[in-house]
Amino acid sequence: MQLPAGVGWTALMTAYARAQEHALFDDPWARAAVDRAGDAARLPDGRESGMWAALGTYFVTRSLFYDRQVRAAVDDGVDQVVLLAAGFDGRAQRLGLPEAVTVYEVDTAEVLAFKDAAVADAPAPTARRVTVRVDLREDWTPALTAAGLDPRRPTVFLAEGLLMYLDEQQSDRLLDAVTGLAAPGSRFVTEWFERNPAGEPSLVSWPDERDNRTGAAVGALFRSGPPLPPAAWLAAHGWDVAAIDDVGTHAATVGRETPWMFDPAHPDGLRVHLVAGVRAR
Ligand SMILES: C[S@@+](CC[C@H](N)C(=O)[O-])C[C@H]1O[C@@H](n2cnc3c(N)ncnc32)[C@H](O)[C@@H]1O
């Protein structure tokens, strides 16, 4: 089984953080993906690497923001969950969703083939799990509806760890496509960096050169993300803001120290927007 490369590899990086987490949640699918990847997914841990400690806090705590939005939507009767750029997301299993809920995992064929093999012996999903293999820069919505998504019923769409790999036009096209599938009451939850941090101290000025190599490799994949700040961007596409935060503030509210890397008040800190929108009924 081929290991995902490039931006696909970044899904192993976020899975690695979730696999190490035990206090905020348990993620057997992340562990299964990391175990299957072996040395390719083995990253320094937070005790050895300042950069990894900061990234690990980001990846783990942001997941709680998305989890809350999914739970709130399902509590409101939404039974379609779409994970755009799903990677090794384990929500179909980890959240204990009812079996009446369908979780659509949308990602590249390479990533989803690796995931299917990795989770084959892991705990089974509680929700119905459907995989959709597409390139999200292309016209992907027909594949999602062909897989069963009903655009007449509300859906919660997650784009976790995706928009930083898209440019302004690609981000707009993605949200246009989501909007076209979003019945009233649908939600869209996502995050992105206020500026592209490629080459900045937060990615390439750590004491350990291994961190700087990882930071340079990740930075090389970054694009601009959406063209507007979160509330304006959602409004421009016909969405109301249901929740808005940033990674540093959110980390503190879930009991983790805000790393300087995600503290916008620090001279080299980054603001990473976390936002949830809702389509008016
Ligand atoms: C950082 S990972 C995030 C994975 C998961 N959402 C998480 O938070 O762990 C980025 C994911 O985006 C997917 N991705 C990036 N660009 C994509 C594209 N154009 N089409 C489909 N998937 C894409 C990658 O394959 C990868 O799984």
Instruction: Express each pLDDT in 240-249 by its tens digit.
Output: 999 999 999 9
The answer, yes or no, to whether any atom of ligand 1 lies below 6 A from the CB of 61, is: no
- The pLDDT tens digits of the residues spanning 197-219 come to 999 999 999 999 989 998 999 99
98 alpha carbon – ligand 1 mean position (Å): 25
- Which positions ≥6 away from 175 have C-beta within 8 Å? 188, 226, 233, 237
Contact in structure between 187 and 277 (CB atoms under 8 Å):
yes
46 alpha carbon – ligand 1 mean position (Å): 23
SS3 242: strand
- Beta pairing, strands 240-246 & 272-278: antiparallel
- What is the distance between the alpha carbons of residues 234 and 240, in angstroms, rounded to a whole number? 7
Mutate to test the pocket of ligand 1, among 135, 136, 167 (most ligand atoms within 8 A of CB): 136
Ligand 1 atom with the smallest distance to the CA of 110 is 25
47 alpha carbon – ligand 1 mean position (Å): 27
Mean pLDDT (whole number) for 43-49? 72
The answer, yes or no, to whether any atom of ligand 1 lies below 6 A from the CB of 171, is: no
The answer, yes or no, to whether any atom of ligand 1 lies below 6 A from the CB of 135, is: yes
Minimal-distance CA residue to ligand 1 atom 4? 87
- What is the distance between the alpha carbons of residues 267 and 236, in angstroms, rounded to a whole number? 31
The answer, yes or no, to whether any atom of ligand 1 lies below 6 A from the CB of 86, is: yes
State the ipTM, two decimals.
0.99
130 alpha carbon – ligand 1 mean position (Å): 16
Burial class (CB in 10 A: 0-12, 13-18, 19+), 194: middle
The answer, yes or no, to whether any atom of ligand 1 lies below 6 A from the CB of 74, is: no
Percent of the chain predicted with pLDDT > 90:
89
Strands ordered across the beta sheet of 187-193: 128-133, 102-107, 80-84, 156-159, 187-193, 272-278, 240-246
Q: Is the pLDDT of residue 154 over 70?
A: yes
pLDDT of residue 75: 98
- The pLDDT tens digits of the residues spanning 131-144 come to 999 999 899 999 99
Strands (E), 102-195: 102-107, 128-133, 156-159, 187-193
Q: Is the pLDDT of residue 45 over 80?
A: no
pLDDT of residue 48: 78
7 alpha carbon – ligand 1 mean position (Å): 7
> Would the pTM of this model clear 0.95, i.e. be above it?
yes
Mean pLDDT (whole number) for 37-43? 77
The 10 Å CB-count burial string (b at 16+, else e) for 49-74 is bbbbbbbbbbbbbbbbbbbebbebbb
The 10 Å CB-count burial string (b at 16+, else e) for 163-185 is bbbbbeebbbbbbebbbebbeeb
Mutate to test the pocket of ligand 1, among 55, 165, 169, 192 (most ligand atoms within 8 A of CB): 165
- What is the distance between the alpha carbons of residues 171 and 158, in angstroms, rounded to a whole number? 13
Q: What is the CA radius of gyration of the chain?
A: 18
- The pLDDT tens digits of the residues spanning 67-102 come to 999 999 999 999 999 999 999 999 999 999 999 999
The answer, yes or no, to whether any atom of ligand 1 lies below 6 A from the CB of 8, is: yes
